[in-house]
Chain A
């Protein structure tokens, strides 16, 4: 190899790597997905606690891979007068069991919305990461390579869902992985496993699967569809006041 060829190879290496890396990332065929039925969530917080234990996220930290938003909606005389009270459950302390929440929500429309990483098919966090610390698996799960992450936090800024955070101990970014270590062994994510009301449903988007059927037979929504991220977490019975 002469010098010119060597330089050509080096010059071509970076774009070639980019193209190679981006291959197959947008395919949602047979990818994993979660369907959340908001009407079934009771805000018990079992999923949050289980997730934190399973994935070694400090229990007392507000930062969490999954969390539950509780909404209490007071509908006024006009559409502009809708008053929304929102509380967040992200630790073992459940704010929905507190007196102020229970009394404050009496007679109002109250519901709970579990949230997590949406494993977007067009994931902004992957696109912005300067060191390829984030990537898609072939089955559509967005993972973080914790040995590569430099902790610049650009992915946290870029994520429209607030689903990624800086791990308080590891000092690298962290987020939901759909419990990838479990699902590759044929198990379900812990949040799904421990949900007492089956509000969370998980599986592959393939013919005959439960999640596929749920999406087919119901009206589903994704969060912030206008961002064009193509989330893989779908919601049933989502109210208009929810922060998409």
Chain B
């Protein structure tokens, strides 16, 4: 079994590196195309507008939703005294860091003139812009998250100092600054982190919600973003912790099992609330029939080009199947099924992001024109796979280098 796992690990590392390289090359080619023009599958449906925010922006939203959710779930155990969740705090924090870092890379490569990004930080900035506020809040969030992690891992890093090799070196570097009492400080910084994460993420919701685009517009979009973040956070924590334990050959039992059960409850509950949110959003948008472009904005999801994404991927795979798996006693008690339910949820949430971003923009529409189908350029797809692989790979590296054993 041990040899087998090592082989799987080697395959994972190799495949990840290949996919990451392929992803970066694809994104590079999107910005600096080959001399032979490659047509995007989605043609602009109006001359001056296409779908300006596409798959990479959807991925960006997916990652920020994930980091916020992971941070919220971890803080429940770390800051807010949910004792049962303490065994998964480390996984939560590590994944929160990984997702926000990959997220920054994603959005950095999506922006056309990223080298001018310093304008924002250097003060040539518009404080009235939701995007500016979001950027600044996420920068603050990364700083708080790094400090929080450093404080939380500190005791274990001190023990890890004695180890030889790279792990010992990392621990020695990270524990160079001296600090005596960290427990209370960790909680304070943890609170600041989760507070900033929630504000930053709701700001992202507002970034979409303030637009006149019918599918997005509304005051509840920022709240909905937070809610779906908790769904993502709970599901990803389960996935990350389950895979880590599987490859370490650890059986999930005792406190760890209890943590999974707690996550199962959080995930199940937030899925139900998400269903309610989605249903009412669609009903309110579509009724009465005469509201300005509102009905059209959801019809495309109900029986239009985005119907498969919505009904099959978002609703069935992302919400209904996981809820059944989580609530049935036979499956809900077994971590394998909880893991599978979480995987389904994450797939659903990923397509929910695509539908939200691209579906919303596709509806910027107009009488007599057809809505574009959700098809993607191969470079976008490779870029997305590359960034997802990068997140998985960084999680793997972090797990190898940091003291991830559960705190007593």
Q: How far is the CA of A65 from the CA of B124 in the complex (A)?
A: 27
Given contacts A71-B368, A153-B53, A157-B361, contact A227 B212 (CB under 8 A): yes
Query: A95-111: contact bitstring with B at CB < 8 Å (1 yes, 0 no)?
Result: 00000000000000000
* CB neighbours of B213 from chain A (8 A): 157
Given contacts A84-B368, A85-B368, contact A127 B111 (CB under 8 A): no
Is A53 an interface residue, CB under 8 A from the partner?
no
Is B176 an interface residue, CB under 8 A from the partner?
no
* CB neighbours of B369 from chain A (8 A): 86
Q: How far is the CA of A217 from the CA of B369 in the complex (A)?
A: 34
Contact A127 B129 (CB under 8 A): yes
**Using a CB-CB cutoff of 8 Å, which residues 148-190 of chain A contact chain B?**
148-154, 156-166, 171-172, 175
Q: How far is the CA of A131 from the CA of B119 in the complex (A)?
A: 7
Contact B112 A171 (CB under 8 A): yes
* Nearest CB of A to B370, in Å: 10
Contact A150 B114 (CB under 8 A): yes
Contact A153 B135 (CB under 8 A): no
* CB neighbours of B111 from chain A (8 A): 150-152
8 Å CB contact of A162 from B48, B116, B126, B135: B48
* CB neighbours of A157 from chain B (8 A): 52-53, 211, 213, 361
Is A201 an interface residue, CB under 8 A from the partner?
no
Given contacts A130-B126, A157-B52, A172-B113, contact A162 B368 (CB under 8 A): no
Given contacts A130-B120, A151-B113, contact A90 B47 (CB under 8 A): yes
Residue of B nearest to A171 (CB): B112
Interface residues of B, count at CB 8 A: 40
* CB neighbours of A130 from chain B (8 A): 120, 125-126, 129, 131-132, 135
Contact A84 B119 (CB under 8 A): no
**Using a CB-CB cutoff of 8 Å, which residues 101-122 of chain B contact chain A?**
111-114, 116-117, 119-120
Contact B127 A243 (CB under 8 A): no
Q: Which of A12-20, A30-38, A203-211 contacts B (4 or more CB under 8 A)?
A: A12-20
Q: How far is the CA of A67 from the CA of B49 in the complex (A)?
A: 11
* Nearest CB of B to A196, in Å: 21
Contact B48 A164 (CB under 8 A): yes
Q: How far is the CA of A154 from the CA of B208 in the complex (A)?
A: 10
8 Å CB contact of B123 from A14, A151, A172, A241: A14
Is B249 an interface residue, CB under 8 A from the partner?
no
Q: How far is the CA of A17 from the CA of B212 in the complex (A)?
A: 27
Contact A162 B46 (CB under 8 A): yes
* CB neighbours of B44 from chain A (8 A): 62-63
Q: How far is the CA of A172 from the CA of B112 in the complex (A)?
A: 7
Is B364 an interface residue, CB under 8 A from the partner?
yes
8 Å CB contact of A132 from B49, B53, B117, B126: B126
Residue of B nearest to A224 (CB): B212
* CB neighbours of B120 from chain A (8 A): 130-131, 150
**Using a CB-CB cutoff of 8 Å, which residues 49-86 of chain B contact chain A?**
49-50, 52-53
8 Å CB contact of A163 from B43, B48, B212: B48
Interface residues of A, count at CB 8 A: 51
Is A88 an interface residue, CB under 8 A from the partner?
yes
Q: How far is the CA of A243 from the CA of B339 in the complex (A)?
A: 48
* CB neighbours of A152 from chain B (8 A): 111-112, 131
Given contacts A62-B43, A150-B112, A150-B119, contact A156 B124 (CB under 8 A): no
Q: How far is the CA of A158 from the CA of B208 in the complex (A)?
A: 9
* CB neighbours of A149 from chain B (8 A): 113, 116
Contact B52 A18 (CB under 8 A): no
* CB neighbours of A163 from chain B (8 A): 48
Contact A162 B364 (CB under 8 A): yes
Contact B212 A67 (CB under 8 A): no
Given contacts A132-B125, A151-B112, contact A64 B47 (CB under 8 A): yes
Residue of B nearest to A13 (CB): B123
Q: How far is the CA of A154 from the CA of B134 in the complex (A)?
A: 13
Contact B126 A64 (CB under 8 A): no
Q: How far is the CA of A201 from the CA of B49 in the complex (A)?
A: 25
Most buried by B among A64, A148, A162, A172: A162
8 Å CB contact of A171 from B113, B119, B128, B364: B113
B positions within 8 Å CB-CB of A: 31, 43-44, 46-50, 52-53, 111-114, 116-117, 119-120, 123-132, 135, 207, 211-213, 292, 361, 364, 366-369
- Give 12 new A-B contacts, CB below 8 A, not counting A63-B48, A130-B132, A171-B112: A13-B123, A14-B127, A63-B44, A86-B366, A130-B129, A149-B113, A150-B116, A151-B112, A153-B112, A156-B52, A157-B213, A160-B212
Q: 8 A-B residue contacts at CB 8 Å? A: A86-B368, A127-B128, A129-B126, A131-B119, A131-B125, A153-B52, A157-B213, A171-B113
